[in-house]
Amino acid sequence: MSSRHGEFRIISALALLDLSERDLKQFYVLMQSLGFEAFVDIVRHAEDEVVASFDFIEGTVSESNSMFEDKEEDLVEYINKSRRSDLRLTVSDFVDYMTFELKKLEKERPIPRFDNRRGIKPWLKKIINLFGQSAVLHCYHSISENINYRKEHQNMWRLK
């Protein structure tokens, strides 16, 4: 019964869109051509986008007066370049650290999943839109401090 309930909800959602027969046919053909994993990836990506849109509409995106003057692209470039050259972290490690820091900052807010195929820049843009520039920059600096602290203490104990 619950499976039928889910199917009815999906069909109801499509009906609310008032799509033309041509649009419905294109959607039907697309769904037939996708594998299940690709379909789930598309749906999950759309969910992330919808959550981000609602947060933006509700005004939960924090205002920023950072050194980047609200230029999201500049902040993304700064963080990614610094991640590679200063922190020397892989994308995977950096995403793990950033996710950890963001969860410490705001436990209730969902964090978008990282998609390897799209890369780090779109993911950084998403989290900047959700959390704001200052929060993301704060988390980045926390990661940087932790990494640098570890490096300093590792060097202290090396034999000379």
57-61, 109-113, 128-132, 136-140, range with the lowest pLDDT? 57-61
Domain boundaries defined on the chain: 1-33, 36-156
- How far is Cα of residue 95 from the mean position of the Cα atoms in its chain? 9
Other beta carbons within 10 angstroms of residue 66's beta carbon come to 15
- How far is Cα of residue 146 from the mean position of the Cα atoms in its chain? 22
The average pLDDT across 52-77 equals 61
For 2-50, write each residue's pLDDT tens digit: 567 777 788 888 888 887 888 888 888 888 888 888 888 787 877 777 7
What pLDDT does 155 receive? 55
For 81-110, write each residue's pLDDT tens digit: 998 888 888 999 999 999 999 999 887 888
Kindly tell me if the per-residue pLDDT of 54 is higher than 50: yes
Tokens of 82: 């610094």
For 65-85, write each residue's pLDDT tens digit: 445 555 778 899 999 999 888
Tokens of 50: 């919808």
Give the predicted TM-score (pTM) of the model.
0.52
What pLDDT does 159 receive? 56
Kindly tell me if the per-residue pLDDT of 55 is higher than 80: no
